[in-house]
Chains A and B, each alone.
Chain A
Amino acid sequence: MLRPTLLVAALAVALPAYADADLDALRAEIQHMKQDYETRIQSLEARLQNAESRADNTAQIAASESAVSNSNAFNPEISLVLQGGYASLKDIPKRRINGFLPDGTSPGTTRGFSVNETELVMAANIDPDFRGSTNLVVTDGSVSVEEAWFQTLSLGNGLTLKGGRFRSSIGYQNEQHPHAWDFADNNLMTRALFGEGYSNDGLQLKWVAPSELFTELGAEIGRGANFPGTDRNQNGIGSYALYGHIGGDIGDSNSWRGGVSYLSTRAVERSGTVADFNGVDTNTAFSGDGQTWMADFVWKWAPNGNPTVNNFKFAAELFRRSEDGNLSCDDAGSLSLCSGGVTGAYRATQYGGYAQGVYQFMPHWRAGYRYDLLDPGSADFGLNNANLPRPDYKPARHSLMADYSPSEFTRLRLQYSKDQSMQNQNENQWFVQYIYSLGTHGAHSF
C-alpha cells in the first residue's frame, strides 16, 4: 500500500518538474518554428520583391528592345514598283493631241503586253536636319532619274526647302507618280502641258501657315529644261513656279483641298512635229515664253472619315497656257508647204481640264469615271498661217475604270477609254494593268 502511495507522491512531486521541462521544450520548439516561418516569410517576401522588380525590368527591357536593332536598320526605305499590263489600241504610229504643240517625245502607248516603267524608290532621313529621296525609273536600256532630292526637316516656322530634281508641286496630279494615278494613263491636260509631269532641277520653298485652315504657299526656281521649256546652256533661272493651296475638313466625313498655280517657262528651238495643210508632217521649232495657270480641286469623302469600306474621291483641274514667240517650220521630206524653212510669230492661248470621280463601293473594289476636254484656243502662226492649219478641234476623252486592291500593295485595273484626242479618230482603248509595290513604300500624300 505504501509503495503505490509513495509512487504517487513521488510522481506528484516529480510531475511539475517533468511538465515544466516539456513545456519549455514545446515553447522552444514553437519559438523555433516561429523564427523559421518568419525567416521563410522574409525570404519569400524578398523573392517576391525580386521577382516583381525583375518583371519590371523585363518590361523595360522589352520596351527598349524595340529601339535596339542591327546596323542594316539604317538602310534607306527601299521600294520597287512593278507596273505593266495589256493594252488594246488602234495602230496609230504618231500619237499626238490635236492642236497642241507636242513635247517632242510623243508618249506612245505600247500595244499588246508590256512592262511599263519599273520604279525604284529609296528614301531616308539623312540626319536630324535633312531627308533624301531618289526615284529611278528603269526601262529597257535606260535608267532615268525621275527624282533625286534633299529636303529640310528642321527649318521650322512652317518652312521646308527642297533641292535637287523633283516633281513640281503645281496643281494636283503633277506631283504623283504613275503608280499613284487613279487611271491607267495620264489625263490629257497633264499630257498636253508637260508630257508625263513637270519636274525641275532646282529649289523649292514651301511655307505652311500656322492657321487652322490649311494654307500652303510655295515657290520653285530651276533649270527649266523640261517641256514646255527647253535646256538653254545658260546661267540663271530657266523657269519658276508659284502656287498656293488651301484645304480643310467639313465634318468628320469630308475633306478638301484647292489651289492655284503659275508656271513660267522659256523655250529655245523646242522641236516638234505639226501636220501642214496637206497633212504632211513638218518639223517645227518654237522659241519663246510660256505662262501656265492652273487651278486644282480635290474632295474626298469617307463615312466618319473611315475609308476602309466606302469612300469617294473627286478631282478636277483646269489650265490656261499662253505661249508667245516664234515658230519656224521646215520640211521633213521636201514635200511640205514649209520647204526651205519659214519662220513666223506664234501666239497661242489654250485651255483645258479634266474631272474625275472614283468610288470605292466595297472593300478593295473601286470604280471611276474621268472626262478630259481640251480647247486649242486661238493659235496664231503668223506667217505660217499660210502653211499650218489653225486648230479648231477640241480633243476629248471619256474613261471608265474599275480596280481591285486585295492589299494596299497590289492593284489590278481594267480601263476603257473612248479617246477623241486626235481629229478623225474615235478610238476605243482597253487597258489591263497591274501595279505591285514591294518593300517599304512611303505613305502617299492627300
Chain B
Amino acid sequence: MKNLRLLTLLLMALPAFAHAALNVFACEPEWGALATELGGDAVKVYTATTAFQDPHRIEARPSLIAQMRRAGLAVCTGSELEVGWLPVLLRQSGNAAIQPGQPGNFEAAHYVAMLEKPSLLDRSQGDVHPGGNPHIQTDPRNIARVAQALSARLAEIDPEHAAHYQTRLKDFNSRWNAAMARWQTEAAPLKGMGIVVQHLAFPYLENWLGLKQVAVLEPKPGVEPSVSHLAEVAALLKSSPARAIVRASYQNPRPSEWLSEHAGIPVVVLAFTVGGSDRAKDLFGLFDDSIEQLLKAAR
C-alpha cells in the first residue's frame, strides 16, 4: 500500500518534471546537436540513433517507444528516411503531440531544396526516396536553413522561452556563418575533385564543395555492391579517375576497402553526422573534420 502511494506520487510528479525542459526526440545525431545548440538549457535532447547506425535501418526498439512517449517535439529528417521505424514509434507511443501534422512533429527536409528527386518511382530502382535524397545534413547551408525553422518551431511549442530561442539562434547563426566562410576558403582546393561514393549519401556535400561524383559503389541505393559491380567501377576509374572513395562511418567498410586495394586510391571515412569521428563532437567539429579528411585525400 505504501509502495502504491509512492508510485502514485511519482506518477503525479512526472508531468511536472516534463515541464522543466522541453523533451526533444531527435531521430539523427545532427538534429540532436542542432536542437542542443538552439535550445540550450530549455530543452532536454534524446538522440535516437548514433553515427554508427544506418538511419534507414533502425529497429523500432522498446526504448525508443518509451522516449517518444515523453517527447514534446520530434525532430527528424523526413523524406522517408525513417519510414522503416519512425511510424511504429509514433503510433505505439500514445503521444498525441508528436503525431504527423502536429507542431511537435518537425521534418527537416521540408525546409531545404531537395536534390535527386527520382523521376521513376519503382522498387526496381532500389531504396529510392520519392521526396528526394534525405541526407541533407552534409551541406552546412542546409543546417542554417533548418536552424531557422527549428528555432521558430521551438518557440511555437514552448512560447515561454521564445526570447531565449531567438537569442540562441542569433548567436548560432553568427558563429555558423563565420564557420561556413572559413570552410569555404579551406575547401577551395576540393573544387572539381573526383570522388567515388559508397552510397548516394553525399549529393549535398558535393553540391556545396563542387566535388565531382564519378561513381557509386552500390549498384542501386541500399543494395550491397557485388564483387562484379565493384570490378566494373574499378574499370570505369581507369577512364575517369577519382581521388578518393568516400563512405559514411556507419557503412560496411568492405566494399570501399576492396576498391581501394584494386584501384589504388584512398578511402575517406566521413563522420557523416555528429559523433561519427572523435573530432565530430558537434556540428562545427563535424564539418571541420569532414573538410580536413577530404583535403588529406586531395593532397
Contacts and interface: CB of A to CB of B under 8 A. Distances in A.
A407 interface: yes
Interface in B121-161: 123, 126, 131-132
Given A304-B53, A306-B250, A157 B94 contact: yes
Interface string A423-446: 000000000000000000011111
A208 B93 contact: yes
A211 B112 CA distance: 35
Contacts of B60: 443-446
A128 interface: yes
B236 interface: no
B110 interface: yes
Interface in B35-60: 49-50, 52-54, 57-60
A62 B85 contact: no
B262 interface: no
A160 B92 contact: yes
A63 B110 contact: yes
Given A63-B111, A252-B50, A210 B18 contact: yes
A394 B142 CA distance: 63
B142 to A, nearest CB: 10
B53 A158 contact: no
A306 B54 CA distance: 6
Nearest to B112: A63
A237 B269 CA distance: 60
A214 B66 CA distance: 5
A200 to B, nearest CB: 19
B228 to A, nearest CB: 15
Contacts of A302: 59
Nearest to A440: B83
A207 B225 CA distance: 43
Given A62-B113, A445-B88, A255 B59 contact: yes
Given A66-B132, A363-B252, A443-B88, A208 B52 contact: no
B87 interface: yes
A100 B84 CA distance: 39
A63 B114 contact: yes
B248 to A, nearest CB: 11
B227 interface: no
A102 B49 CA distance: 46
Nearest to B94: A158
A409 interface: yes
A307 B69 contact: no
A131 interface: yes
A154 B99 contact: yes
A247 interface: yes
Interface residues of A, number: 58
B70 interface: yes
Interface in B175-192: none
Given A211-B66, A363-B224, A443-B60, A306 B52 contact: yes
A437 to B, nearest CB: 10
Interface string A197-227: 0000000001111111111100000000000
B222 to A, nearest CB: 8
A158 B88 contact: no
Given A158-B94, A255-B59, A444-B88, A304 B54 contact: no
Size class of the B contact interface (CB-based, 8 Å) = 35 or more
A66 B91 CA distance: 23
Given A63-B114, A304-B52, A248 B94 contact: no
Interface core residue of B18, B69, B84 (most chain A CB under 10 Å): B69
Given A304-B53, A306-B250, A446-B62, A62 B114 contact: yes
Interface in A391-411: 406-409
Nearest to A158: B94
Contacts of B250: 306
A206 B94 CA distance: 8
A63 B109 CA distance: 8
Given A59-B113, A409-B123, A160 B66 contact: no
Contacts of B53: 304-306
Contact of A66 (B50, B84, B109): B109
B24 interface: no
B113 A63 contact: yes
B66 A213 contact: yes
Contact of B62 (A210, A214, A307): A214
Contact of A407 (B83, B101, B110, B223): B223
A443 B81 CA distance: 12
Contacts of B109: 66
Contact of A304 (B18, B50, B62, B70): B50
A300 B59 contact: yes
A213 B65 CA distance: 10
A309 interface: yes
B290 to A, nearest CB: 20
Interface in B225-269: 250, 252
Contacts of B113: 58-59, 62-63
B164 to A, nearest CB: 25
A304 B59 CA distance: 12
Interface in A177-212: 206-212
Q: What are the 10 closest A-B residue pairs judged by CB atoms, nearest first?
A: A247-B62, A214-B62, A156-B96, A214-B66, A158-B94, A59-B113, A304-B52, A62-B113, A154-B96, A249-B63
26 contacts: A63-B114, A125-B100, A128-B102, A151-B91, A155-B94, A156-B95, A208-B93, A210-B11, A212-B70, A213-B66, A216-B62, A245-B62, A247-B63, A248-B62, A249-B63, A305-B59, A306-B57, A306-B250, A307-B59, A308-B54, A363-B252, A407-B126, A407-B222, A443-B83, A443-B85, A446-B59
Given A125-B100, A255-B62, A306-B53, 16 more contacts: A58-B113, A63-B113, A66-B109, A66-B110, A67-B110, A155-B94, A155-B96, A208-B93, A214-B62, A215-B66, A305-B52, A305-B53, A308-B252, A363-B252, A407-B223, A443-B87
